[in-house]
Amino acid sequence: MKIFITGATGFIGTHLTRQLVNDNHEVTALLRTESKQKLLPAGVKIIKGDLSIFNDKTLQLPEFDVVIHLAGTIFAKNDQKYYEGNCQVTKDLITCLEQQDWKLKRFLYASSLAAAGPSFDGKVMTEADQPNPIDPYGKAKLAAERYLSRAHSFPITCFRPAIVLGPGDWNTLSLFKMAKWGVGMNIEGKPQKLSFIDVDDLNSALMKMMKDTSGDNKIYFVSHPDRVTNNDLFIELGKVMNKKVNIIPMPKMVLKVAMQVSSLVSSLLKITNQLDKKQYDQLINDFECSSALLQKELQWTPRYDLNASLKKAYIGYKELGMI
């Protein structure tokens, strides 16, 4: 198949492009930063530019069977930037694809568990539940989902990954570094409940989605059937690293003050805040989901449980010199 990917040089994208090339698909990547081309496997074709190129009403793209839109804004200075970097750019891309003189077979959109919002009272979220995002990132992702759910000239699949584990991910690297130092962190109160997915299992799900010929629009959670707590993460990391990990409780007020200070400093210095209210809300709430619908409809089965995924990630981090 001919596949176009945005965000191909990111954590998920680099793993996905490698798998697609290994499976003999013809892959084209949108490349914003030329120096990052080295992250892509040989044979990947390049379209130079960032997501703003899709504003060009005259832009002609080569014909593709599937577009996988991974690029998005995870950290932003304000709500409007979250919207622009996740929803508006998606609208522009869809408009661009609809004006081509060829028809796409399927569009895959990387949404987020944040679009559904947290799970409460021990309830595990399914696609039938009403979304209730609590932060601007999740609200922007949900706005994109709702736009994509409307009638378009090609079918669309939105996927909401749980916490993605795998080598090369900067977002979870801090957990591995903390465990290596022999410490873990738990926000005061009950341990946070979480769903997770290995990056290779996520990409195997994407392979199933892109071959879906049903013609229907879909939304899927992507997660392993096992659900864990943040304590479980540190306990398993200790096993993987052969380290004793002491889990330290952090008062919620301390985290909140740290968030407020970080927000103030980033505002004064005009820099992106990586401990804003979004991160705070994501650290104090449960995020559990079920991928039963995906498993049933596309006959997908994840292979890596928590220990196997963490072990694979740890080995990969070491090989990359990140730990």
Q: Would you call 10 helix, strand, or coil by DSSP?
A: coil
Other Cβ atoms closer than 10 A to 321: 6
The pLDDT score that the predictor gives to residue 190 is: 81
Residue 122: the pLDDT is 83
* Residue 1: closest CA among 97, 61, 66, 60: 66
**Cβ–Cβ < 8 Å for 124, 227:** yes
Give the number of other Cβ atoms within 10 Å of residue 128's Cβ: 7
Name the CATH superfamily, with its identifier, for domain 2-166+195-224+288-303: NAD(P)-binding Rossmann-like Domain (3.40.50.720)
Phi and psi angles of residue 160, each rounded to the nearest 5 degrees, phi first? -115, 95
pLDDT of residue 26: 98
Q: What is the pLDDT of residue 269?
A: 63
pLDDT along the chain (323 residues), means of 10: 97 96 97 91 94 93 98 89 96 96 97 94 93 94 96 95 93 89 84 94 98 95 95 93 89 76 68 65 86 98 97 93 88
In sign, the C-alpha dihedral spanning 100, 67, 31, 137 is positive
Tell me the average pLDDT of the chain: 92
pLDDT of residue 204: 97
Distance CA 213, CA 215 (A): 6
Task: Output the pLDDT for position 270.
Answer: 67
Cβ of 257: how many Cβ atoms within 10 Å?
11
Q: In which residue are the tokens 């304590």 written?
A: 231
pLDDT for the residue 315: 95
Write the pLDDT tens digit of every residue in 19-66.
999 999 999 999 998 889 999 999 999 999 999 999 998 999 999 999
